Every structure is written in C-alpha cells, then in structure tokens.
Structure 1
Amino acid sequence: MLVLVGAALAVLSPLFAGRWPAELILHRWRWAWLIWVSLLLQIGLFSLGFAERLAPVLHILTYVAAIGFLWVNRAVRGTLVVAAGALSNGVTIALNGGVLPASAWAQEAAGIVDEGQVVNSGVLDDAVLPWLGDVFAWPEPLPLANTFSVGDVLIVVGVAIVAWAGSRRIGSTAQPTEDAERK
C-alpha cells in the first residue's frame, strides 16, 4: 500500500506546482491491461489470500506482466526507471521462492508481525540478494507503516519522472511535442 500511495502522490505532484501530467493522462498506453491484471492479481494474492501453493508463482507472474507493460511503453520517459525497480523486485522475489526478503529490523520498525500467512515480503533464512529486499522502514506510528525496497523507491521515482516529463502548465494551450505524438 505504501508504494501505491507513493506512486499516486508522484502522479499528482505536478498538480501541486500548477501543472498537469498531460502525457501520463493523454498517452495511448500499449497493453495497458497487463498492468491492471498485475495490480489486481497482487491485491487478490495478499488481500484475499489465494492458495499458498499458487501464491509464489502468481506473485512472480505479476512482475512479468508489469515488466512486459513497461517494456512495450519504454519510449515514455521514466518507464525504464519504473521497469528497473520492478525488475529488481521481481528477480529478487523469483530467487527467493516468491517472497521478497525483508530485514528483521525494518519489519520491527514498521510494526509488522509474522502471522504465518502468505506474504509478499518476509524475513527469510539464507535470503538471496537480501539488500534488494525490504530493508527500509516507514515506521510506526506513521500512517501506512510498512517496509520498502530499493526497487520500490525506483518505481515511485520513475512514476514521478513519467508524470513530470510531459507535464504542462495548467491552462496552457501548448500542443504535445512531435516526440509525444509519435509515442
């Protein structure tokens, strides 16, 4: 949830400066259904709790779908930064059996308690690439207390780049550049 809120704030951030994220909103995104399937599947996996045996495979497939979407839209400035974050998380999750490794310190700071259920992130014995896991904390008592990774930071920064790269002043009648029209 923390990454979704961060990404939403990144999308809205140009509005706070009197700009609107024109290219983000007006761009004809190719294969947009992939990103929606990926997000809905992740919500289903970790909010509704799919069967434990399916969760690791489906978790990895959500990243494959997201990276596919980002790859076909790579001409948009910022999408490769988002893709680098998704790839960092996706590869780390795949190498750790469907779970992003988390730092015990970060989980404790965020007030996350292991309840033995299917999780997208957790403390693992002998984690592969643990430094790419959830090693940072947005601690309690802050709202949305949670852990996050380098990949998550790249995703939010990339979304901000996408939002700002094609932004225009509110009220501007300027037309998109020729580059934006070709995308």
Structure 2
Amino acid sequence: MLLIDFMVISFIIGFLRRGNLKGLTEIPMRRLELIFLSFIIRYAPLFLKGPFKEFASNYIMAISIISYTLLLSGLFSNWHIKPLRAAAIGVLMNFLVIVANGGKMPVSLWAVDAAGLQEFKSDLFNPDYLYHTALTSSTRLALLGDIIPLPRPYPRPRVFSIGDLLMAAGIFFLVQDAMLKKKPSSGKIIGR
C-alpha cells in the first residue's frame, strides 16, 4: 500500500531533518474512531475464509460504501488540518471510482506490465478477487483508477491512482509538519 510506504518515508525524512515524534501526539485530530473502524471494515474481509469470504465477495459494494463513508467522515471532520485536505480529496476520488465500478478499484493492465507485476494480472479477472478488477473499455471514471506504475528500482513495485498519490502526499506533509513545526498559538498544525 502506497500510503504505508509514504508514512515510513515521511518518518525517515522527518528524523533526517531532526524532527521528533512528540509533535504527532499533538495533531488536533477528531473522530479517529471513524478512521480506525473504516480500516477494520475495509481490510477484515482479506482474512476471511470459506463462506465468510464468499459473503464478503457478494457484498463488496456495501463493504466499500460503508468503509469509505466512515473514512471520509473522519477525514472531513479534520478539515482544519490542511495536509489532511489532500488526503480527504484523494480518498473521495478513490471512493468515486470504486463505487462507479461495482465496489472494486479498476487497475490498468498496461500499468501492471510497466510495474513488472504480470503475476498479478490473472487476479484482476477473478470475480472473487475482493478489491481490484481489470480496467477495460467499459470501466467508468478510468482516469481515477490505478493507472500509475511504480516499477523497480523502487523496492516494492506497485500500481496506484491519482487519489492514492493525493492521500500519500497529504499524510507525508502532515507527518513532516508535525515532526518539525511548533504548534502555533491557535493549537493547529499549519499545513503547506
């Protein structure tokens, strides 16, 4: 997941810039429980087996709508934190393309090849594959799908969306601001 990579990179850069983790505890976040619950609902089906996995596959649209609605509610509750605005817009972009395509993120086959992930292609045509599907001529909002390849020498090649890029940038700047800046008198972390 690109977001995790960017978080790790942002921590490393924050430390190299002589930042510290204390600022992360002072980010004035609201409604964190919605964000955590959204991740549980979104990713718990990956660990299901047998009839439970089949149930998740049959109701992937509902799972996607519920998890993304919770995540967006949590992020928009934090609109006062400027870097999270980019993350919220990125999540909204992903939500739109996922809902427009039956609850799954469409993935460009060209981008999969360009990233060197050919072994992943067959999964994109499997209807039981939970969160992704192949981008085809019938895909809606294709520009918002996973269309950007990130090949080697990047250590973890992947394909991601414009929404993913906005989310990652928002989290990166949030961590940088929190690790390196002092709180202004208003108590808000200043974004870029």
Q: What stretches of structure 1 move > 6 A for 4+ residues in a row?
A: none
Q: CA deviation at 1:9?
A: 2.4
Counterpart for residue 42 of structure 1: 42
Counterpart for residue 18 of structure 1: 18
Could you say what secondary structure the match of 1:137 adopts?
strand
1:131 aligns with 2:143: yes
Identity %: 22
Could you say what secondary structure the match of 1:122 adopts?
strand
Mind listing any 5+ residue stretches in structure 2 that lack a counterpart?
Answer: none
Native 8 Å contact 1:46 1:120 kept in 2: no
TM-score (norm 1): 0.84
Q: Which moved more, 1:128-137 or 1:102-111?
A: 102-111
Q: CA deviation at 1:78?
A: 0.5
Q: What CA deviation, in whole Å up to 9, does each residue of 1:39-90 have, x standing for no partner? A: 2222223354642112222123221111111111111120110001000000
Distance in 2, Cα, partners of 1:83 & 1:11: 21
Could you say what secondary structure the match of 1:166 adopts?
helix
Counterpart for residue 121 of structure 2: 113
Mind listing any 5+ residue stretches in structure 1 that lack a counterpart?
Answer: none
Counterpart for residue 180 of structure 1: 187
Distance in 2, Cα, partners of 1:47 & 1:107: 24
Higher helix share: 2
Q: CA deviation at 1:25?
A: 2.5
1:145 aligns with 2:152: no
Q: What CA deviation, in whole Å up to 9, does each residue of 1:65-121 have, x standing for no partner? A: 111111111111201100010000001111111011111111233231323132322
Paired residues in the alignment total 178
TM-score (norm 2): 0.80
Distance in 2, Cα, partners of 1:89 & 1:10: 22
Counterpart for residue 69 of structure 2: 64
Distance in 2, Cα, partners of 1:146 & 1:91: 21
Q: Which amino acid aligns with 2:133?
A: G
Q: CA deviation at 1:140?
A: 5.8
Q: What CA deviation, in whole Å up to 9, does each residue of 1:121-175 have, x standing for no partner? A: 2214301110110001223675333210000000010011211223337xxxx6x
Please give the root-mean-square deviation of Cα atoms over the aligned residues, in Å.
2.5
Could you say what secondary structure the match of 1:78 adopts?
helix
- Pick the aligned partner of 1:122 from 126, 133, 139: 133
* Change over 3 Å in CA distance of 1:7–1:62 after alignment to 2: farther
